[in-house]
Amino acid sequence: GESVGLHLPTLSVQEGDNSIINCAYSNSASDYFIWYKQESGKGPQFIIDIRSNMDKRQGQRVTVLLNKTVKHLSLQIAATQPGDSAVYFCAETAAGGFKTIFGAGTRLFVKA
Amino acid sequence: DAGVIQSPRHEVTEMGQEVTLRCKPISGHNSLFWYRQTMMRGLELLIYFNNNVPIDDSGMPEDRFSAKMPNASFSTLKIQPSEPRDSAVYFCASRGGGREKLFFGSGTQLSVL
C-alpha cells in the first residue's frame, strides 16, 4: 500500500472555536489536493479541494491553505461544531496522473 | 443518484475461504478505485480502473487479491484464499472525468477468522 498511518493524531477543540488540521504531503509532483471527512461507519466525503496554482481556497466555514515550498496543506474549520467530529484526511494526486493517495488522517474531537 | 453502492456491508468468513466484494460506481463515472483501510496502515490504494481497464494494481498486496471490472457499472475485488490479516474495511470509490474528487461507498467490513 501507499498510505501509512500508525498512530492517528488527535485534535480536541471546544465547540465554537476554530480548528486547524495539518497535513504534510509526500510528492512534490502532486498538483491537486483534497480534504475528506470520514465519520464513523462511513466512507470519506469530499470537503474542499485546491490546485497547485492556488495558495488558498475558501468554502463554507472551511479554508484550505497550500504551501508548496514545504509541501504542507492545512484545513481550517471556523466555529467548529459537534457535527464536525470525524477523521480528516488530506489526499494528493500527481500532475499527469490519476492515482489519489491519502495521508494518515487526523481525528477531530469537538467538546460541547 | 444512489451514490457508490458496495455489497456486502459486512462479511465474516473463515481463513482459506474465497471472499468477493462488489461495487457499483456512480452512473457516468469512468474511474473506479479500491481502497483498504486499517488502523495500522490507514487508507491504502489497491487498484484503480479507467474506462474499465486496470491502470495501476501496484497496491494489490499479493496474488491472492484480484479485481475485475467487466463493465462500466460493476466491479469485484476477490480474495482467494483469505487470511486473518486481510481483515479490514474495503472501500470502493468512483470519479467522473479528469482528476476530480472521489465519491466513496459505505465500505465492506471484512473479518477473516
What pLDDT, on the 0 to 100 scale, is given for residue B112? Answer: 97
Whether the Cβ atoms of residue B71 and residue B52 lie closer than 8 Å to each other: yes
Residue B12 has pLDDT above 70, yes or no: yes
Q: Identify all chain A residues contacting B106, using CB atoms and an 8 Å cutoff.
A: 41-43
Return the residue in A2, A34, A90 with the most chain B beta carbons within 10 A, the one to mutate for interface testing: A2
Q: What is the pLDDT of residue A1?
A: 35
CB atoms within 10 A of CB B54: 16
Q: How far is B16 from chain A (nearest CA, A)?
A: 22
Residues of chain B whose beta carbon is less than 8 angstroms from a beta carbon of chain A are 4, 31, 33, 35-36, 39-46, 48, 50, 55-56, 59, 61, 91, 93, 99-107
Q: What's the mean pLDDT in B26-40?
A: 94
Percent of chain B with pLDDT over 90: 88
pLDDT of residue B111: 97
Please name the member of A3, A32, A43 whose beta carbon is closest to the beta carbon of B104: A43
Task: Check residue A4 and give its pLDDT.
Answer: 37
pLDDT at A80 over 60: yes
CB neighbours (10 Å) of residue A28? 10
* Phi, psi torsion values for A71, nearest 5 degrees: 55, 55
Specify the pLDDT at position B1. 63
| A97: confidence class by pLDDT, cuts 50, 70, 90 | confident
Q: pLDDT tens for residues A2-45?
A: 343 346 889 999 999 999 999 999 888 899 999 999 999 999 99
Q: Look at B61 and A1 and tell me if their CB atoms are within 8 Å.
A: yes
- Centre a 10 Å sphere on the Cβ of residue A7 and count the other Cβ atoms it contains: 8
Residue B48 in grid coordinates: 484503480
